[in-house]
Amino acid sequence: MKTSIRAVNGFRVWDSRGRPTVEVELVLESGITGRGIAPSGASCGSNEAVDLRDGGASYGGYGVARALENVAHLISPALVGLDAMCQASVDARLIELDASSTRDKVGGNALIATSMAVLHAAAETTGKPLWSHLAEGRAISMPLPEVQIFGGGAHAGRRVDVQDFLVMPVGASTFDEALCICADIYRIAGECMEARGGRMGVADEGGWWPNFSSNEEALQVLTGAIERAGYGNGEAMISLDIAASGLYKDGYYRLAMEDRQFDSDAWLDLVCSWVAKYPILSIEDPVAEDDVLGMRKFTDVLGDKIQIIGDDYLVTNVDRVSQAITDGCCNAVLIKPNQVGTITEAKATLDRARDAGWGTVISARSGESEDVTITHLAIGWNAGQLKVGSFSRSERMAKWNEALRIERGGAATKAFSGLGALPIKVRAGQEDAQASGRRSRVAR
């Protein structure tokens, strides 16, 4: 059969941190090829698929020789002869090779690069762009972008404890306009940082390198930048990724830069005070990955006002999402395909969350490449939001620019999700706020 897999070849390429990563090139009997490059995280959940590294002295321990051996000796023999048009069966075969929840035998990096390559080969066979192959003719809306303005946490030497300070351009009416708003805020925030003095530069995802004396000061500067850029009337709101697992130890949340620590209740009070003072519309991982009680309290208090995203808390795992729905924890999911290992599992997790009325955010990792698969996943799967880091560094811009190309490509991608991207209850509250006159048109 022409669409049968003839060969699965793994190669070492390099990521945006200059570390090795896995590239898989898949060849079909027809001669058509598909390629995928594994991304990699720096602040990983302990329940996510393992990024298999060699350890030892070479490449700082980040070598991927073992993962590539697994592509050659485990994955390739298992996949040759399978029909690439049947993603679910190919992914099921991959899962059979390593059914452990963290995929530490074969490696999440080997698995996801392969699963992505299969998807690309199938789309190429249909002659359609990947997003269109995935959309299967269904109506879609372009996702709301979340753009990082300041980097922090594990991506910036912990110079500020909160990992990501982002903006959500909810007042935009097209994806293109949404990026224009983010570009303005990114530029003005850079000017604010320059005026403050100190080192200029960017963190791992391209956000400005943090130079603050407290986490709250970063919120003040970001709020000021949004206002100075002219979007202080609700058109652009703040999104935080606290990545709180990295702050949690022995029952306390610790802000190292401020030398302060908080028990679960005091921590909740602090984060709620930020939400009350600043235009925050979304918070990711406000509590540690296993702090179910904390997440439930947080969702009880804020779940109908802001989006509460589980990243390390949910690790793109359908069972963890189901459990969180039952527990009343979170109202949105972050989908990072390499956290789970295959495209099919990532889609199942997204569907489960969407069916519950949750927000859905497709996300890159802090270690990325020129691979733009996730842009196509966000659009083709009709996810509400896309988060790929900041507004600099080409591994980020490649993904934003690919979305612009898709948006201008035809009638199918003219709609924009905007506020519709938010979880159902939060959306209703925001629409009320806009109806009461908070929103004014973007002047451009």
Residue 65 interaction partner, one of Zn ion, ligand PGA, none, beta carbon < 5-8 Å per kind: none
Q: Is 251 helix (H, G, I), strand (E, B) or coil?
A: coil
**Residue 243 interacts with ligand PGA (CB under 6 A): yes or no:** yes
Residue 421 CB, nearest distance to Zn ion (Å)? 17
**Residue 44 interacts with ligand PGA (CB under 6 A): yes or no:** yes
| Site string (159-198) toward ligand PGA, x via CB under 6 A | ----x-----------------------------------
For residue 248, list its beta bridge partners: 253
Judged by beta carbon, residue 98 or residue 241, the one nearer Zn ion is 241
Catalytic residue check, 414: no
Strand 237-241 relative to strand 280-284, pairing: parallel
Neighbours of 261 (CB within 10 A): 16
Neighbours of 214 (CB within 10 A): 14
Q: Which of 22, 23, 37, 43 binds ligand PGA (CB under 6 A)?
A: 43
Catalytic residue check, 249: no
Q: Which of 336, 347, 387, 399 is catalytic?
A: 336
Residue 382 interaction partner, one of Zn ion, ligand PGA, none, beta carbon < 5-8 Å per kind: none
Residue 44 interaction partner, one of Zn ion, ligand PGA, none, beta carbon < 5-8 Å per kind: ligand PGA
Question: Which has the closest alpha carbon to 329: 341, 321, 339?
Answer: 321
Sheet of 248-249, strands arranged across: 248-249, 252-255, 260-262
Judged by beta carbon, residue 156 or residue 222, the one nearer ligand PGA is 156
Question: Which has the closest alpha carbon to 204: 163, 259, 245?
Answer: 163
Compute the distance between CA of residue 262 and CA of residue 214 in angstroms, rounded to an integer. Answer: 15
Is residue 439 within 8 A of residue 233, CB to CB? The reply is yes
Provide the residue count of the chain. Answer: 444
Q: Which of 124, 241, 371, 402 binds ligand PGA (CB under 6 A)?
A: 241
Compute the distance between CA of residue 413 and CA of residue 422 in angstroms, rounded to an integer. Answer: 19
**Residue 395 interacts with Zn ion (CB under 5 A): yes or no:** no
Q: Which of 53, 320, 365, 399 binds ligand PGA (CB under 6 A)?
A: 365
Binders of Zn ion among residues 311 to 340 (CB under 5 A) are: 311
Query: What's phi and psi for 118, nearest 5 deg?
Result: -60, -45
Compute the distance between CA of residue 43 and CA of residue 355 in angstroms, rounded to an integer. Answer: 28
Rg (the chain; Cα; Å): 21
Compute the distance between CA of residue 100 and CA of residue 408 in angstroms, rounded to an integer. Answer: 42
Neighbours of 429 (CB within 10 A): 13
Residue 147 interaction partner, one of Zn ion, ligand PGA, none, beta carbon < 5-8 Å per kind: none
Residue with tokens 């591994």: 395
Judged by beta carbon, residue 108 or residue 171, the one nearer ligand PGA is 108
Residue 389 CB, nearest distance to ligand PGA (Å)? 8
| Site string (88-117) toward ligand PGA, x via CB under 6 A | ------------------------------
Q: Which of 146, 205, 345, 395 is catalytic?
A: 205
Binders of Zn ion among residues 233 to 272 (CB under 5 A) are: 241
Residues that bind ligand PGA in the complex, under the rule CB under 6 A: 41-44, 163, 241, 243, 311, 363, 365-366
Which of the residues are catalytic?
A: 205, 336
Residues that bind Zn ion in the complex, under the rule CB under 5 A: 241, 284, 311
